[in-house]
């Protein structure tokens, strides 16, 4: 039986037009879609296709020229700057390509940081940070300094830090861009698992079709338009498992 899906992000007739000299650049040229709770979505397209522009709009970092963005029932395009800051704090987590960890803090301290900004007492925030580090498989590296960790471990810390505030939505901009292929696959599988377990919505931007294939749905963007929305093929997950095994054997 088909489960009833809960919409989390709804985009309607979205445009972002930049004026460059006398030219107009249609970075987003009429975009419509819905993303659901518990879904891992990839926005995939070549350089200059509008991926970052779309992510920035969804995260409320830039205003659309026209159209609607409704997240968790609220119209983002109608919010002022203060409301957007508040909205992001309550609903959104970010995973970055370059991890953006504080190098001289250990894993627990890095993950606890968003909680300390929210005034959560130290004992509680450290316990929460440890819980999320366990979730991403770093129980043995809790006290390691960020700059003494591998890229894959640092990205796991980055994921734990995005999750610790229990956001409805997680935005990830080329999250595996700095990782080797084996670690890339581990991080993608971790993100798949977490979205499934925690029933969050993960929106990942990538230019790489293979990486996008790990998402439940791929939103293909070209010249500011969504050309097609593709469901995950079952084999991608299995192929990922095989490749992961091959990597472990080598």
**What residues make contact with ligand ATP under the rule CB under 6 A?**
18, 20, 25, 27, 45, 47-53, 207
Q: Three-class SS of residue 122?
A: helix
Q: What's the half-sphere exposure (Cβ side, CA atoms, 13 Å) at 110?
A: 29
Smaller CB separation from ligand ATP, 25 or 105: 25
Name the minimum Å distance from CB 67 to ligand ATP. Answer: 15
Output 58 or 157, the one with its CB closest to ligand ATP.
Answer: 58
Question: How far is residue 65's CA from residue 235's CA, in Å, rounded to a whole number?
Answer: 39
Q: How far is the CB of 57 from ligand ATP (least distance, A)?
A: 10
Separation of CA 232 from chain center: 17
Nearer to ligand ATP, 68 or 223 (CB): 223
> What distance in Å separates the CA atoms of residue 55 and residue 78, rounded to the nearest whole number?
17
**Residue 155 DSSP SS3:** helix
Is residue 212 a contact partner of residue 218, using CB atoms and an 8 Å limit? yes
Residue 91's nearest CA partner among 119, 109, 114 is: 114
Rank residues 14 and 165 by Cβ distance to ligand ATP and give the closer one: 14
Strand partners, 170: 93, 202
Kindly state the smallest distance separating residue 45's Cβ from ligand ATP, in Å.
6
Nearer to ligand ATP, 49 or 176 (CB): 49
Task: Say how far apart CA 71 and CA 237 lie, in whole Å.
Answer: 29
Give min distance, CB of 28 to ligand ATP, in A.
8
**Distance in Å, CB of 22 to ligand ATP, minimum:** 13
């Amino acid at each position: 039986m088909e489960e009833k899906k809960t919409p989390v992000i709804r985009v309607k007739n979205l445009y972002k037009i930049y004026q460059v000299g006398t030219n107009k650049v249609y970075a987003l040229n009429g975009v419509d879609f819905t993303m659901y709770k518990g879904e891992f979505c990839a926005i995939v397209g070549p350089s200059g296709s509008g991926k970052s522009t779309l992510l920035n709009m969804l995260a409320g970092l830039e205003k659309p020229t026209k159209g609607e963005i409704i997240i968790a029932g609220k119209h983002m395009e109608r919010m002022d700057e203060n409301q957007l800051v508040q909205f992001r704090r309550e609903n959104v987590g970010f995973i970055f390509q370059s991890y953006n960890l504080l190098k001289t803090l250990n894993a627990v301290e890095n993950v606890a940081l968003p909680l300390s900004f929210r005034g959560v007492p130290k004992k509680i925030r450290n316990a929460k940070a440890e819980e999320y580090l366990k979730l991403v498989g770093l129980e043995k590296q809790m006290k390691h300094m960020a700059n003494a960790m591998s890229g894959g471990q640092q990205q796991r810390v980055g994921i734990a830090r995005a999750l610790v505030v229990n956001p409805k939505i997680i935005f990830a901009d080329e999250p595996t861009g700095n990782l080797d292929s084996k670690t890339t696959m581990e991080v993608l599988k971790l993100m798949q698992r977490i979205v499934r377990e925690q029933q969050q919505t993960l929106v990942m931007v990538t230019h790489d079709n293979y990486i996008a294939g790990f998402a439940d749905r791929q939103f293909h963007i070209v010249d500011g338009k969504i050309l097609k929305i593709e469901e995950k093929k079952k084999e991608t997950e299995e192929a990922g498992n095989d490749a992961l095994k091959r990597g472990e054997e080598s």
